[in-house]
Amino acid sequence: MIALLVLLLIAIVVWVLGSLPWLVTNYFLCVPEPIIGCARPSDFIDIARTIVVGNVALMVLAGVAIAYLNRLHQRLRRRQQLAAQQQQLESSD
């Protein structure tokens, strides 16, 4: 489960960081003066809106995954502390 969440976070970061250069490049190169290989300005706005909404949704999903991983880490740390305390009590007896 933890490995899947970490892989999900890595995929989200790669997607978001990979889509941002495309948006910036198309906005500054294609919108003012369309050239071959560029999306039409009206299409670009729709595509950009879809990408931005998707990126925001992925960021929210990443936040949920990070919160879940944090909760798992806190539980594990608490279990380790309890085990260490129990071991100290047993060794002192």
Q: What whole-number distance in Å separates Cα of residue 48 and Cα of residue 33?
A: 17
What pLDDT band is residue 60 in, cutting at 50, 70 and 90?
Answer: very high
Q: What is the pLDDT of residue 72?
A: 93
In eight-state DSSP terms, residue 32 is S
Q: Is 3 inside any structural domain?
A: no
pLDDT tens track for 6-59: 898 999 999 999 998 888 888 887 767 767 777 777 788 888 899 999 999 999
Count up the domains in the chain and report the number.
1
Q: What is the extent of the structural domain holding 38?
A: 10-92
- For the chain, helix (H) and strand (E) counts, in that order, are 2, 0
Q: Is 2 inside any structural domain?
A: no
Closest by alpha carbon to 47, among 18, 33, 16, 26?
Answer: 26
Return all residues near 40 (Cβ < 8 A) that are at least 6 apart.
34
pTM (global) more than 0.95: no
What pLDDT band is residue 91 in, cutting at 50, 70 and 90?
Answer: confident
Q: Is 44 inside any structural domain?
A: yes
Q: Is 21 inside any structural domain?
A: yes
Q: Is 85 inside any structural domain?
A: yes
CB 39 within 8 A of CB 47: yes
Q: What whole-number distance in Å separates Cα of residue 23 and Cα of residue 33?
A: 15
